[in-house]
Structure 1
Amino acid sequence: MEFIFILTKYNDKSFKPQVSKALEKRTELVSRTEHPQMWKCVDKMNLKAKASEEVLKKRHSRYKLYGILLLILGFFLLIPSLMEPREMLIPLLVSTFTIGIGILNFRYARKSKKVKLTSFDKAAIKLFSEYEKIPMVTVTFTNDKVQLVGNVTIGYSEIEKIFITEDLFILIWNKRIAVLQKKDLSSYNVEEFISFITYKSHNLFEIVNISE
Structure 2
Amino acid sequence: MESDRSAAWCGTGEKQKQASHQGVECGVSCGVESVPHSDFECVVETEDLFLLVYGERVTVLQKKDLAAGDPRDFSSMMAENITKYAVVSFAEQGRAAK
TM-score range, shorter chain: 0.7 to 0.9
TM normalised by structure 2 equals 0.74
1:140 counterpart residue number = 18
Does residue 38 of structure 2 align to residue 157 of structure 1? yes
Alignment of 1:79-118 (within 5 A): none
Structure 1 outlier segments of 4+, above 6 Å: none
Paired with 2:89 and 2:16, the residues of 1 have a C-alpha distance of: 24
Does residue 96 of structure 2 align to residue 186 of structure 1? no
Cα pair 2:21 2:77 within 8 Å, conserved: no
Cα deviation for residue 210 of structure 1 reads 0.9
Choose between structure 1 and 2: higher strand proportion: 2
1:199 counterpart residue number = 80
Cα deviation for residue 178 of structure 1 reads 0.3
Q: Which of 4, 7, 16 lines up with 1:3 in the alignment?
A: 7
Paired residue type of 1:165: T
Cα deviation for residue 211 of structure 1 reads 2.4
**Aligned residues between the structures:** 82
Cα deviation for residue 161 of structure 1 reads 0.7
Give the 3-state SS of the residue equivalent to 2:58 in structure 1.
strand
Q: Which runs of 5+ in 1 are unaligned?
A: 8-134
Cα deviation for residue 145 of structure 1 reads 2.1
Q: Which runs of 5+ in 2 are unaligned?
A: 91-98
What root-mean-square deviation, in Å, do the aligned CA atoms of Structure 1 and Structure 2 show?
1.4
Give the 3-state SS of the residue equivalent to 1:178 in structure 2.
strand
Cα deviation for residue 199 of structure 1 reads 1.3
Cα pair 1:138 1:148 within 8 Å, conserved: no
